[in-house]
Structure 1
Amino acid sequence: MREELRDWWWCVLVAALVALAPAAAQAGPLPTAAPESVGMSSAVLARLDPIVDGLIAKGDLPGAVVLIVHHGTIVYRRAYGRRALYPQPQANALDTIYDLASMTKPIGTATAVMKLVEDGKIRLWDRAAFYDPAFGQHGKGHVTIEELLDHSAGLPSALNEAQSVLPLAQGEAVVDAMPLHFAPGTRFEYCNTCYIELARIVRLVSGLSIGEFDAKELFEPLGLAGDLLFDPPAAALERVSPEAPAAHGRYVRGRFVIEGHGPIGAEGHAGLFGTAEGVAAYAQMLLDGGELNGVRVLAPATVAAMLRPYYLGRHSQRLGDVRGLGWDEQTTYSSNRGEIFGVGGFGHTGSTGCSLWVDPATQTVVVLLSNSAHSPHAVDDDVIRLYAKVATIAAAAITDAAALPAMQHQAAAWSAQVAAQAPGFESWAAADRRLWSTTGKGTEY
């Protein structure tokens, strides 16, 4: 049912991904230009400075990098504050490498899965246990790849802190032993363990770890190997912003840290590091339908399939929870869209203080990378509000005459697709929940 109701969305999105960037100076993966030359206001963008500086002064952030792209061109980028406070203060810079935390899920893992789908190696509606029989224990045998991608698989949402720092094979064994706690496919619940399993499937199918696969198939071809990477090499560690202290008060660079415990390596739910320009260039690749600077890594239809809306019920949102494959679109986690961009965009955040929002209608990318986890005085709500404020100012700075009609068209198409899915999903999900409550099994596909 869900599959049938979504089929036409990809063509709507492909049409929104073909805008061409104007000519501008280019040294890195993206060109740069004055905001006014591409339809944005530098005066409005200047409102960002006191907001970000204010949070740094308050102690919520040691520093941050904000980067905004419009029509394929960087119109704003600034490094604020410090790269590190401890053990020694270090000035921030545009090339700082940040721990992207959960932004690993869409950028690193979901994209890898979609590459394997495009290559005919896996199908979205395949059962995960087809590739990883050990995962099928305890009622998980009918969980699909798609359900893992859109966080509707019914798995417990996370490993506990002690389990999170186990060696990879032991952590995967913990996931294998987990029982389901709701009927797969019947609602959205944000889930780290889904992405641990997806990374394992990438490894089993391709023979490469998630970091190796992404480097070979995505980041290196795009020229982003130094800007998006798992396990940064020793030569890059000076540029890596540290985060929360690990065991014994050590500040670790280049590994995602469970505070007070220790670091984890390259896993599907976390472990990717990147610069603001690397994240923005990756997002621009999606806006350009899978291609960046003449190098194609995904087909346009694959990108559209990844980004089309998946209605997942009304568990946490009055208007319904809607996800892409890996991406947030409309849930309690999508406040980083801000107050002005309309529905139809996509993004994600990371617990270390990182945010990405992409609006296809206006061809705008908003990146905020920080290491709030490194600050002993950080207030999570303040950082989450900052995500929204930065996106709101970016949207307010757009002066293109065509922007508003494009946003209205995108919102109408997206909303129609979601509305078309909702009745069938709610009816099917209610029946499947009843079946699961009595048998412990969901619908067999």
Structure 2
Amino acid sequence: MTTKFHQLDEYVCDVQHRIGATAAAIHIVQNRKIVYESYSGKHDVNERSRDVDAVTQFNVGSIRKTYLALAVSLLIERGLITSVDDSVSHYIDKLPESAHKVTLRHLLTHSHGLAEHEGKIVQEFAAGEDWSYRNVGIQLLFQIVTQLTGMTLSDFVAKEVLEPYGLSETGWHTASSEHLIYNYYSGPSNWLGPNDSAAGDQSNLFVSARDLAQWGQLHLSRGVSGEGRQLLPSSVFDRVTSLQTPRGVPALQPRNGFIWWLQHQSPQNQIGDRIPVGSYQVLGITGCAVLVIPAYNAVAVRMYNQLHNIENYDYLEDIRTFGNLVSDAFRK
């Protein structure tokens, strides 16, 4: 084991057992080189199940939303979306009148104020004046991408991003297969929702740890491939990872790019206080996370298959500690 990552490895292993995850992985890249990787556990509780390894694909939960975010940025680049400040009602009909002031920027930064109540969209607070994590905004963005491209999100992302960049261990799946950790859907308390659609609208995106690290690297390098080719314009990635949160959102609330959480001193921020300014991260409900640290030219990925909440577990404290330990290791 690389000595400087020893404390990080011990911490990830300890949390794996505390949260009841059967599987864990760490994959860290710096200057485009793998500096540390670790795989532990099995795909599920059955001792005969497959060992976790480099080709194991985890369900990444809400990390999937960053793939949607990149699709939106690409549509802006191509002029299919005029501006991030366009009203959502310009693209989607039959929204309630109260939602007409909601823009794409609001959806992408969780500042839209929309919520779903008894099947109807309602406004909880004025757009751009507060922050609340609600999936209704993600659903609207999915509709917009589908409408403008004439394709499902999954097909559009595969064609425009995954295939050109060689991310072959990433995809939306509706059935179990050898390399997928699929135990999320077997129990009655499934907290990921349905998985009968491969369109990209459900929480069933599966990614290997090394592919997720490459996803982070793709943003860090602003679209330059491992072979040094600029396959997508750098501006697509610049807008995704730069500050997009409206000025009216209170300073104590998180700051976002397009979905990505940006380093910011906030009680709700996911990013640890020892991580350099300019870093950004995204976390999924299953415990998977990807942290990009431009100051170290590095990407750190952590993967779990967490199935449920446990008592006395503070996910914010956990993910901040993970990032702080990564940052500490790079400073050694």
Q: How does 1:106-125 map to 2 (within 5 A)?
A: 106=66, 108-122=67-81, 123-125=83-85
Q: Which moved more, 1:271-280 or 1:192-201?
A: 271-280
How far 1:344 moved relative to its partner? 1.9
Question: Is contact 1:210-1:268 (8 Å) kept?
Answer: yes
Does residue 141 in structure 1 map to residue 100 in structure 2? yes
1:297-316 equivalence runs, <5 A: 297-312=231-246
Q: Percent identity?
A: 23
Q: Which residue of 2 aligns with 1:341?
A: 275
Mapped partners of 1:383, 1:66: distance in 2: 17
Tell me the TM-score normalized by structure 2. 0.88
How far does residue 301 in structure 1 lie from its aligned partner after superposition? 2.2
Segments of 5+ residues of structure 2 without an aligned counterpart are none
> What residue is the counterpart of 2:322 in the other structure?
390
> Deviation digits for residues 307-346 of structure 1, max 9, x if unmatched?
112345687764x5311111111355533x3342123211
1:101 partner amino acid: G
Alpha-carbon contact 1:197-1:268 (below 8 Å) kept: no
**Which of the pair has more CA radius of gyration?**
1
Q: Does 2:308 correspond to 1:370? A: no
Q: Per-residue CA shift, 1:204-241, capped at 9, x if unaligned?
A: 000011111111111111101x222112676xx21111
Q: Which amino acid aligns with 1:352?
A: T
Residue 199 of structure 2 is aligned to residue 263 of structure 1? no
Secondary structure at the aligned position of 1:213 is classed as: helix
Cα deviation per residue 1:173-232 (whole Å; 9 max; x = unaligned)? x4xx312111111122112110111011000000011111111111111101x2221126
Task: Give yes or no for the alignment of 1:241 onto 2:181.
Answer: yes
Write out aligned runs for 1:27-426 (5 A): 42-58=2-18, 60-86=20-46, 89-106=49-66, 108-122=67-81, 123-134=83-94, 136-156=95-115, 174=119, 177-224=120-167, 226-231=168-173, 237-246=177-186, 257-258=190-191, 262-263=194-195, 265=197, 266-268=199-201, 270-293=203-226, 294-312=228-246, 318=252, 320-329=253-262, 330=264, 331-335=266-270, 337-373=271-307, 378-379=310-311, 381=313, 384-399=316-331
Residue 192 to residue 332, structure 1, CA distance change in 2 (3 Å): farther
Asked if the contact 1:104/1:268 (under 8 Å) is kept, the reply is no
Find the aligned partners of 2:35 and 2:24 in 1 and give their Cα distance: 17
Q: 1:387 to 1:264 in 2, by over 3 A?
A: farther
CA distance in 2 between partners of 1:132 and 1:315 (Å): 25
Distance 1:127 1:94, change over 3 A: same
Conserved 8 A contact 1:221-1:297: yes
Structure 1 residue ranges without an equivalent (≥5): 1-33, 35-41, 161-173, 250-256, 401-445
The answer to whether the 8 Å contact 1:243/1:352 transfers is no
> Taking structure 1 as reference, are residues 262 and 324 closer, same or farther at Cα in structure 2, changes over 3 Å only?
closer
CA contact (8 A) 2:108 2:137 kept: yes
Q: How does 1:10-25 map to 2 (within 5 A)?
A: none
Higher helix share: 1
Aligned residues: 327
| Post-superposition CA distance 1:368-389 (Å, at most 9, x none) | 111011xx68457255444333
Superposed CA RMSD: 2.8
Using a 3 Å threshold, how does the CA distance of structure 1 residues 248 and 301 change in structure 2: closer, same or farther?
closer
How many Å separate the matches in 2 of 1:248 and 1:269?
A: 18
Q: Secondary structure of the equivalent of 2:98?
A: coil
Q: CA deviation at 1:79?
A: 0.5
- Separation in structure 1 between the aligned mates of residue 218 and residue 173 of structure 2, nearest angstrom: 23
Distance in 1 between residues matched to 2:231 and 2:160, nearest whole Å = 7
SS in 1 for 2:151: coil
